[in-house]
Amino acid sequence: MEDIGSSGASGPSEEGGLSRRQFAKAAVAIGGASALSACLDRGGSPDVAQGPDDLSTLPARQHAWDEFLTRDDHGNVVAPRHRVLLLLNYAGEATPSDAERETAESAFRSLERAYKRGNDGLLFTVGYSPSYFERFDAGLPASVDLQKPRALASFEEPELDEQDAVVHLASDHAPVVLAAEEALLGEQSAVNGVEMDADISGVFERVDRRTGFIGAGLPAENQDVDGIPSSEPVDEEAPLYMGFKSGYRKNQATEDRVTISDGPFAGGTTHQLSKIRLNLDQWYQQDSRSQRVSKMFCPVHAEEDLVEGVGDNLGDSSQMEERSCPAHAEEHARTRGSVGHSQKSARARDEDGSPLMIRRDFDSTDRDENGDDGQASLHFVSLQRTISDFVDTRDAMNGTDLAERSAVGQRNNNGILQYMEVLRRGNFLLPPREHRALPTSNPS
Amino acid sequence: MKRRDVLAAGATFGLAGLAGCSGTFETESSSQFTTVEDRAETVYYPGHIDGMAMLGMGGSGRYRLGLMYSLPHAFWNISARDTNLARVSEDVSAHLMATIWDDETGTVLPTADVSADVLKDGEQVDSRPLWPMLSQTMGYHFGDNVALDGDGTYTARLDVEAMQARAMGGLAGAFEEGVTVEVEFEHTRDQLSNLTYEEFPDRMGDPGAIEPMEMEMPMSRAPERGDLPNVLGTGTTGDADFVAFAPDTTPEFADDGTTYLAVSPRTPYNRYPLPFMSLSATLTRDGKSVYDDVLLAGIDPDLGYHYGAAIDGVESGDSLTVTVDAPPQISRHEGYETAFVEMGEMEMTV
Ligand code: HEM
């Protein structure tokens, strides 16, 4: 089951009532050995290259994905299409032992040997929460800014994700993320022809599982869910439910920009995770196309009709700076009474004008922890050097400063705030690769 | 999937809708909308109005909330000056409306953000943010078309966020925190389809507005011009009336020794205040600028909803320019969608 989903290969090949893309998404959402074998029965085993024998050739950063990912015609990174997030608790008492550390590390290394890094193979990261680090006497070094999660707007009341760890698995192939998960959890002993030297089932308990997808065709094929009107409004080309492309190269930070530069966790980064419920009835049924463009990008983009289709024509930039959108956010709030999501968010920049974070988010149909399916949502995964960088970006996106002095509402005509509700928030540290297995708070 | 009334709205209301279909109307479909051709950019009499039923009231602290519904209907939303007809979709069954007011003073509150979850037997049947809206019969409220799931007992859970206007006088210090209010209500299809459907074939499209409805709860009406203190001048733009005034006492947030310059924009005929605007003012004296900045939304039980700023003082002979930088970003029921969009400057001599 390939589901490579380049735009041409779009027609749902109806088989057993489900198209290829519906099937791939459903298999990942369900998970487990039976979903994996159904997936393999239907699509066969994807032909995926194994990873290197010499793992020292891999980058020191867990989050070094971009050099392995495909690029589109404009040089934008193409996000891997299928995702699983595993939320884990440390299974032992007190603090992890060196033996446990070795077990976890050899499980991770086995996965790296099994699949090469890339869209066509597997990418994964392992992160740890502030609650995890609380078990150590020493606090985290000052070179790490990892804060406990909290509500970041007056109008949200998120549940907090305080599990110890999160594993993010990504691949263009549904069976690859499923098999990697099975192998990691000790449900299968070999993967892609490589024996697992160990698994994490003795050191971690899986306490939650979240899944999703991103990329042309997947949202359209999986739009029969709550939060999307029954008129099937999601464009076949859209990588995300809201109908627009995201992740333009110039609107993301570089991996260098988000990497912690010194201290024991140098080479690491922080990983913020939120679960956002989407409510797109009004978006698709009551807003016009030009209102959607204005609210997602910037009023100028609507007035000058800059966005064609899902926005591929914008190239390698969402044209924020080019059209002075962030600089005019306050003026637009005053003179239009409406501001765009990207316009507001792009106000968060460092001294060099760089965005503060990399977005590695994806859509989902997960409804709740019971694995109940059927609610359009988005797992917002972003990487930034410090959690403060995330908070600053989210503040910019809230636009409270704009709403206070203009016709813009707290959520009405305030970007896309009206259509989303943050249900959960969690913050994690992604250590460099050498410390990714049950690190202490101050490893040497 | 959500449980939904599969009964398409049109099936129930078809007859009533068709009855209004005379030559001058453009009728989309029975449950859609009827609208007047060549609408002028003024407030006008709509083709019809839907009767409403009071569903119940609730409250928390000083917040009081009244919930009503009518047949589903189309309305216009607005971003900047871009209005868009929000049609009635197939799966909705009613138009839900909420009015929120202060229990102590009866002042209708312009809170910024209200969302509704509708539950039946503990199961969610609809969930959405409500649009801030303006209608000729009700004035300022929050609403949208929602999907119900047949006859029965429902609970509407409304999340009301903090108020986005400076609270003054008897409201000072209140409404800085949001609340959740639950209202239980009974719904039957019969009750909904028996609501009145009143048409205005003779006046439809003419300048004017239907009178405010008699309601069991407070309404958002701006004070009469004559009831406002120290009126400095009046103006009109985009068919809205503006009254500039300077109350004798300055609000708490203003510095000592300053004068509060206030501007109260309202709809013609019904005097509904117009929220979610960007307004600014310049005051000049002998050719010199005394004030040139924005006016911010404020609400006072006696002065109503208005926009204001603390300034150094105002004197007879000053010239005041009030500018609408952005028109009211509030969804509109029929008859209000063409007015209050293209708006400009008003010159007044004090
Ligand atoms: C409902 C979920 C969301 C959707 C569908 C969404 C979609 C988009 C899209 C289409 C763009 C413009 C294209 C691009 O630059 O990639 C964008 C930009 C952006 N969004 Fe979101 N977004 C969502 C939530 C968030 C959240 C929760 C944040 C966190 C603060 C965020 C931060 C940003 C940033 C920083 C930019 C780029 C602006 C810049 O720095 O140039 N977005 N988003």
- State whether B194 and B252 are in the same domain: no
Indicate whether B20 pLDDT > 50. Answer: no
Phi (first) and psi of residue A173, to 5 degrees: -105, 120
Question: Could you tell me if A409 and A153 are in contact, meaning their C-beta atoms sit under 8 angstroms apart?
Answer: no
Phi (first) and psi of residue B276, to 5 degrees: 55, 45
Q: Are B80 and A294 a contacting pair at CB < 8 A?
A: yes
Q: Are B80 and A410 a contacting pair at CB < 8 A?
A: no
Indicate whether A187 pLDDT > 70. Answer: yes
Per-residue burial over B200-227, b if 16 or more Cβ lie within 10 Å, else e, is: beeebbeebbbebeeeebbbbbbbeeee
- For residue B27, the model assigns a pLDDT of 30
Q: Tell me whether residue B68 is in a domain.
A: yes
Residue of A274 and B10 predicted with greater confidence? A274
Indicate whether A419 pLDDT > 50. Answer: yes
Distance A171 CA to ligand 1 centre (A): 22
Q: Which helix (H) or strand (E) holds B11?
A: helix B9-19
- For residue B7, the model assigns a pLDDT of 32
Q: Tell me whether residue B301 is in a domain.
A: yes
Residues of A in contact with B82 (CB under 8 A): 288, 290-291, 294, 302
Distance A308 CA to ligand 1 centre (A): 18
Q: Tell me whether residue B4 is in a domain.
A: no
Distance A318 CA to ligand 1 centre (A): 10
Residue nearest to atom 5 of ligand 1 (CA): A242
Q: Whole-angstrom Cα distance, residue A16 to residue A305? A: 42
Q: What is the mean pLDDT of chain A?
A: 94
Residues of A in contact with B84 (CB under 8 A): 286-288, 291
A-chain residue closest to B294, CA distance: A405
Q: Are A374 and B1 a contacting pair at CB < 8 A?
A: yes
Two tokens, residue B338 = 């063409």
Phi (first) and psi of residue A404, to 5 degrees: -65, -30
Instruction: Kindly report the CATH number assigned to the domain that includes residue B315.
Output: 2.60.40.2480
Q: What is the pLDDT of residues A246-260, one digit of tens each?
A: 999 999 999 999 999
Residues of A in contact with B276 (CB under 8 A): 337, 407, 409, 412
Distance A330 CA to ligand 1 centre (A): 19
- State whether B192 and B230 are in the same domain: no
Two tokens, residue B117 = 């979850």
Indicate whether B219 pLDDT > 60. Answer: yes
B-chain residue closest to A293, CA distance: B79
Residue of A112 and B38 predicted with greater confidence? A112
- State whether B153 and B237 are in the same domain: no
Residues of B in contact with A408 (CB under 8 A): 329
- State whether B187 and B238 are in the same domain: no
**Is residue B131 very low, low, confident or very high in pLDDT (cuts 50, 70, 90)?**
very high
Q: Are A229 and B327 a contacting pair at CB < 8 A?
A: no
Q: Which helix (H) or strand (E) holds A258?
A: helix A255-258
Q: Which helix (H) or strand (E) holds A30?
A: helix A20-30
Choose the closest CB to B276 out of A224, A299, A409: A409
Q: What is the pLDDT of residues B266-300, one digit of tens each?
A: 999 999 999 999 999 999 999 999 999 999 999 99
Indicate whether A191 pLDDT > 90. Answer: yes
Q: Tell me how close the Cα of B286 comes to any Cα of chain A, in angstroms.
A: 28
- Partner A contacted by B276 (CB < 8 A): yes
Choose the closest CB to B79 out of A294, A404, A410: A294
Q: Tell me how close the Cα of B39 comes to any Cα of chain A, in angstroms.
A: 20
Q: Tell me whether residue B77 is in a domain.
A: yes
Beta bridge partners of A206: A88
- For residue A43, the model assigns a pLDDT of 78
Ramachandran category for residue B14: left, alpha or beta (phi over 0 → left; psi -120 to 50 → alpha) = alpha
- The complex scores an ipTM of 0.89
- State whether B321 and B256 are in the same domain: yes
Residues of A in contact with B296 (CB under 8 A): 404-405
- For residue A39, the model assigns a pLDDT of 85
Indicate whether B107 pLDDT > 90. Answer: yes
- Tell me the residue range of the domain where B125 lies: 21-199
- For residue A369, the model assigns a pLDDT of 52
Which of B199, B214, B246 terminates a domain? The answer is: B199
- State whether B190 and B253 are in the same domain: no
Q: Whole-angstrom Cα distance, residue B94 to residue B27? A: 19
Q: Tell me whether residue B106 is in a domain.
A: yes
- For residue B197, the model assigns a pLDDT of 84
> What does DSSP say about strands A420-430 and A159-160: parallel, antiparallel, or unpaired?
parallel
- For residue B290, the model assigns a pLDDT of 94
Terminal Cα distance for chain B, rounded: 61
**Is residue B33 very low, low, confident or very high in pLDDT (cuts 50, 70, 90)?**
low
**Is residue B6 very low, low, confident or very high in pLDDT (cuts 50, 70, 90)?**
very low
Per-residue burial over B179-193, b if 16 or more Cβ lie within 10 Å, else e, is: bebebebebeeeebe
Indicate whether B25 pLDDT > 70. Answer: no
For helices A174-184 and A98-114, angle between their N-to-C axes, nearest 10 degrees: 160
Residues of B in contact with A279 (CB under 8 A): 127-129
* Total of domains in chain B: 2
Indicate whether B13 pLDDT > 70. Answer: no
- For residue B29, the model assigns a pLDDT of 34
Q: Distance of CA B147 to CAs A32, B10, B336, Å?
A: 36, 13, 25
**Is residue B111 very low, low, confident or very high in pLDDT (cuts 50, 70, 90)?**
confident
> What does DSSP say about strands A204-213 and A194-195: parallel, antiparallel, or unpaired?
unpaired
> What does DSSP say about strands B63-70 and B319-326: parallel, antiparallel, or unpaired?
unpaired
- Partner A contacted by B8 (CB < 8 A): no
For helices A174-184 and A32-43, angle between their N-to-C axes, nearest 10 degrees: 150
Indicate whether A141 pLDDT > 50. Answer: yes
Residue nearest to atom 29 of ligand 1 (CA): A394
Indicate whether B170 pLDDT > 70. Answer: yes
- State whether B26 and B157 are in the same domain: yes
Indicate the range of A69-73, A98-102, B211-215 predicted with least confidence: B211-215
- For residue B35, the model assigns a pLDDT of 62
Indicate the range of A4-13, A306-315, B67-76 predicted with least confidence: A4-13
Q: Tell me whether residue B14 is in a domain.
A: no
Residues of A in contact with B326 (CB under 8 A): 333-338, 406-407
Residues of A in contact with B178 (CB under 8 A): 154-155
Give the residue-averaged pLDDT of B290-319.
Answer: 96
A330, A336, A377: which to substitute to probe chain B, counting the most B Cβ within 10 Å?
A336
User: Does A219 sit in the ligand 1 pocket, CB within 6 Å?
Assistant: no
- State whether B169 and B48 are in the same domain: yes
Q: Are B87 and A285 a contacting pair at CB < 8 A?
A: yes
B-chain residue closest to A400, CA distance: B164
Question: Could you tell me if B57 and B183 are in contact, meaning their C-beta atoms sit under 8 angstroms apart?
Answer: yes
- For residue B50, the model assigns a pLDDT of 87
Q: Tell me whether residue B58 is in a domain.
A: yes
Best of A251, A270, A419 for a ligand 1 pocket test (most atoms within 8 Å of beta carbon): A251
Give the residue-averaged pLDDT of B61-78.
Answer: 95
- State whether B128 and B244 are in the same domain: no
Choose the closest CB to A335 out of B90, B132, B326: B326
**Is residue B34 very low, low, confident or very high in pLDDT (cuts 50, 70, 90)?**
low
Q: Tell me how close the Cα of A334 comes to any Cα of chain B, in angstroms.
A: 6
**Is residue B17 very low, low, confident or very high in pLDDT (cuts 50, 70, 90)?**
very low
Please name which of B73, B72, B74, B75 lies closest in space to residue B93, comparing C-alpha atoms.
B72
Q: Tell me whether residue B5 is in a domain.
A: no
Give the residue-averaged pLDDT of B85-111.
Answer: 93
Q: What is the pLDDT of residues A11-53, one digit of tens each?
A: 444 445 788 888 889 899 988 888 888 888 887 788 899 999 9
Q: Which residues contact B73 (CB under 8 A, 6 or more apart)?
A: B33, B50, B88, B95, B145, B333, B334
Choose the closest CB to A409 out of B84, B164, B296: B164
Which of B135, B165, B199 terminates a domain? The answer is: B199
- State whether B185 and B250 are in the same domain: no
For helices A32-43 and A20-30, angle between their N-to-C axes, nearest 10 degrees: 160
Q: What is the 3-state secondary structure (H, E, C) of B157-176?
A: EEEECCECCEECHHHCCCCC
Q: Whole-angstrom Cα distance, residue B289 to residue B118? A: 52
- For residue A40, the model assigns a pLDDT of 86
Q: What is the pLDDT of residues A49-67, one digit of tens each?
A: 999 999 999 999 999 999 9
3-class DSSP state for residue A232? coil
User: Does A276 sit in the ligand 1 pocket, CB within 6 Å?
Assistant: yes
Give the residue-averaged pLDDT of B185-199.
Answer: 91
Indicate whether A364 pLDDT > 80. Answer: yes
- For residue B54, the model assigns a pLDDT of 94
Query: Which atom of ligand 1 is closest in space to residue A252's alpha carbon?
Result: 40
**Is residue A243 very low, low, confident or very high in pLDDT (cuts 50, 70, 90)?**
very high
**Is residue B19 very low, low, confident or very high in pLDDT (cuts 50, 70, 90)?**
very low
Indicate whether A388 pLDDT > 70. Answer: yes
- Partner B contacted by A304 (CB < 8 A): no
Indicate whether A8 pLDDT > 70. Answer: no
B79, B96, B111, B177: which to substitute to probe chain A, counting the most A Cβ within 10 Å?
B79
Share of chain A above pLDDT 70, in %: 95
- State whether B47 and B123 are in the same domain: yes
- State whether B37 and B134 are in the same domain: yes
Give the residue-averaged pLDDT of B39-65.
Answer: 92
Give the residue-averaged pLDDT of B313-318.
Answer: 94
- Partner A contacted by B178 (CB < 8 A): yes
Query: Which atom of ligand 1 is closest in space to residue A396's alpha carbon?
Result: 30
Please name which of A179, A202, A229 lies closest in space to residue A32, comparing C-alpha atoms.
A179
